[in-house]
Structure 1
């Protein structure tokens, strides 16, 4: 078992890690999947998600790889039931979810994305809320 606070504290140690496609090394580089998997690793072990993906896979692939990877290892929850430390999946248009983040205290997100060029913590704005597709709870997190 681990606490939501411990997970968020670990996730925050990744702040400023540069965005780098397919990477997952704190302080060196990561993308959104690499960040979420890397911050969870000390608590839940590996979260298996296919890592051989192009930067633009979400533009032309219909299979929900990210969703299936999290569903295999985590508990899917209702998006109205999210709490600090839960994993959120986002998508745009009709394609599959292609971005992930952690919920942080006070209604925030911590995530890594290309436009920010690093792991950042920011508000869970209406723009992000409109793109929310799925939510997951890591196994072993205390409620």
Structure 2
């Protein structure tokens, strides 16, 4: 059985990934990851093996008209299988946040809330960074989830 995981443990694990270069579909701390790879890596760091392997996905997967495109909340559905939903406005450090770029598109970016006003995320063309959870990010927030069995 896994020892209890605290919110501080999650934030510390996420920050340990800071500086990891962006690499689409990767999840190797210090080598490369994308936003989902960051969350997957934090899961492995704290819980052990991942509960499922994500299917291959293109960088524009949530912008296509195919079965995994418009209207399909693929990322949110996967999160619901393994994480606990958090009510809008009740997000706390250690929670996983999902973002949508346009109101009519599904969520396609994720981050970990590190402080009430900061997030850790991986973004294309850069590296894992801790940035302000600004009004821009708050406007694009679509879902929030807590890791399982989190203690305060």
Partner of 1:125: 134
Q: 1:106 to 1:96 in 2, by over 3 A?
A: closer
Partner of 2:150: 141
1:43 offset after TM fit, Å? 2.1
Q: 1:67 to 1:22 in 2, by over 3 A?
A: same
Structure 1 alignment gaps of length 5 or more: none
1:85 offset after TM fit, Å? 0.2
Q: How does 1:65-80 map to 2 (within 5 A)?
A: 65-80=74-89
CA deviations on 1:83-131 (whole Å, 9 max, x unpaired) are 000000000221110000000124100000114x110001101111110
Asked if the contact 1:111/1:121 (under 8 Å) is kept, the reply is yes
Using structure 1 for the length normalisation, give the TM-score. 0.94
Structure 2 alignment gaps of length 5 or more: none
> Equivalents in 1 of 2:61, 2:139: separation in Å?
21
Q: How does 1:50-129 map to 2 (within 5 A)?
A: 50-60=54-64, 61-62=69-70, 63-93=72-102, 94-115=104-125, 117-129=126-138
Tell which structure's C-alpha radius of gyration is larger: 2
Alignment root-mean-square deviation, CA = 1.3
